[in-house]
Structure 1
């Protein structure tokens, strides 16, 4: 089986290649606009905005895993979300059709549900609050229409929540780094629950879907590792694992948002991307809790618990 990763040079893609290479009878090729620092010999340079290059490199593939996305909070111009996430989907499908590849696994996002929802499942109404979530939903709609016209395809959509783990340099890493350093400021009460996904489990779930070898069908899965931690829980577990007493400064939510708007203004006038913004404060304080009962009833068993995943990341990074 030849598996084509599109956008596999980053955090998730690198870990996925690690796991796929442990499987006998599997050939892996990564297509990305950036070379892979770990697997340059498996990487071909290509952009999701260029379907012909994708088609050229994807020859002989059996399954495509689409990881490429524009996902940062501060992307400018905003049109990049739609260029990469939506048009990139169309170009990927065109390249697949050119090569007769009919199996696709697409990593979407729980951002399609919006914030502060009551543990949404795959049937919950869609209500994205930002352009990232909107563009991911539009990409899913492209896929839905495509499958209606190509019922013999096998399409699996995974909507993971925020992913953490060794090698991650995203929001969870920055949060844990602040906590571990003892310079952490809690905005709000810290009782808001945060659904998270450990990288080892996400890549295992992708491999599980690949191994099913279904020839047709259309499925959507939330992916979340349970239990859901509150921000207070993260502080507690981090301190316990690292053997540290973590001092916590608490700031009221309103004051935190006011500071976020101040950083928005500063970023606007300096034309610089800053680590603090009103969007990040809002996301930090929001309850982002999701159901993944469908994925967990599919026969998949996560190889790691949440506590094990957190311990592995903290001991590796800090």
Structure 2
């Protein structure tokens, strides 16, 4: 059996590979990490510098036709994690080139080798930015190049599945994914709290749907290895109910033994500061107009389907930050 992970050198892929190797790998199984970058190189998870023993690393670009030598089996699984995702941070065309061409080339590869099981990591970005609660049945209305490219990629995977009723496709739409090696929104939030420069932006009740990376990869394992199903299913991968920014901040502070008063700053004032500081390097600390705007808009995503599908959560929300802190030797969240 082959576990073929496109984008396996990234944040989620690194955690998925560790889980598969530690808990799922049998004698004749193989794990393939297919990525344009390898562990230890610029552009992958900071701090992950060594390749994992027993994993075959193959440098390929999903924007191009995919092929490599391996022995296919009837039980092979593809995990398509490859994406250009950080926003802001890339020119518009980069999202479309990687996310759409990547979906086409991965599904063509599956078609060529008769692989009938794919898990695709999409995003909550296809829902678009709005305060209303979103379920898996909500009509997607993406309003960013990233969200549009991810929705198109979902459709490409669904077309692949529709060609054969026996094919299995799971699409996961994670909220903010956090944990060791993230170096994204949650890491910046922690650093801002620690540095006394985080302030609530106009409100404390902004909802930010999120999921711990170890919980996400365990659900991916549960869905693809512990279940047999036919057809297509979509799961929002977020905690239910989604937590607001005040709850998130208080949980981080408690888990990392910090004592901070977090002030409330008028939204207009912070946006004005961001417009001045952003071009001067404010992006490094999250003071950038696009990121400030994201702070002010809820990502109100329902995780009820995930909560009721039979999967048993391994961590409470509070325990996720304690576990992450322990993974970093209690020196911070990074």
> TM (normalized to structure 1)?
0.91
Farther-moved stretch of structure 1 (258-267 vs 18-27): 258-267
Q: Counterpart in 2 of 1:244?
A: 258
The reply on whether 1:56 has 2:68 as its aligned counterpart is yes
Kindly state the Cα deviation for residue 213 of structure 1 after the two structures are TM-superposed: 4.8
The reply on whether 1:16 has 2:16 as its aligned counterpart is yes
Residues 243 and 76 (structure 1), Cα distance of their counterparts in 2 relative to 1, 3 Å cut? closer
- SS of residue in 2 equivalent to 1:74: coil
In the alignment, structure 2 segments of 5+ residues that lack a partner are 40-48
- Contact 2:192–2:285 (CA<8 Å) still a contact in 1? no
Q: Counterpart in 1 of 2:37?
A: 34
Higher helix fraction (1 or 2): 1
Q: Counterpart in 2 of 1:299?
A: 310
Kindly state the Cα deviation for residue 273 of structure 1 after the two structures are TM-superposed: 7.8
The reply on whether 1:4 has 2:7 as its aligned counterpart is no
Farther-moved stretch of structure 1 (274-283 vs 119-128): 274-283
The reply on whether 1:144 has 2:147 as its aligned counterpart is no
Kindly state the Cα deviation for residue 59 of structure 1 after the two structures are TM-superposed: 4.7
CA distance in 2, matches of 1:285, 1:81: 24
Kindly state the Cα deviation for residue 70 of structure 1 after the two structures are TM-superposed: 0.4
* Match 1:47 to one of 40, 61, 73: 61
The root-mean-square deviation of aligned C-alpha atoms, in Å, is: 2.2
Where does 1:123-142 land on structure 2 (aligned, <5 Å)?
A: 123-142=137-156
- SS of residue in 2 equivalent to 1:190: coil
Kindly state the Cα deviation for residue 175 of structure 1 after the two structures are TM-superposed: 0.6
Residues 82 and 115 (structure 1), Cα distance of their counterparts in 2 relative to 1, 3 Å cut? same
* Match 2:203 to one of 189, 213, 226: 189
Aligned residues: 313
The reply on whether 1:78 has 2:61 as its aligned counterpart is no
Kindly state the Cα deviation for residue 119 of structure 1 after the two structures are TM-superposed: 2.1
Where does 1:85-234 land on structure 2 (aligned, <5 Å)?
A: 85-214=99-228, 216-234=230-248
- Contact 1:158–1:221 (CA<8 Å) still a contact in 2? yes
- SS of residue in 1 equivalent to 2:294: helix
Residues 230 and 307 (structure 1), Cα distance of their counterparts in 2 relative to 1, 3 Å cut? same
CA distance in 2, matches of 1:4, 1:155: 15
CA distance in 1, matches of 2:81, 2:310: 23
- Contact 2:235–2:305 (CA<8 Å) still a contact in 1? yes
Residues 183 and 106 (structure 1), Cα distance of their counterparts in 2 relative to 1, 3 Å cut? same
In the alignment, structure 1 segments of 5+ residues that lack a partner are none
CA distance in 2, matches of 1:165, 1:81: 24
Kindly state the Cα deviation for residue 109 of structure 1 after the two structures are TM-superposed: 0.4
Q: Counterpart in 1 of 2:45?
A: none
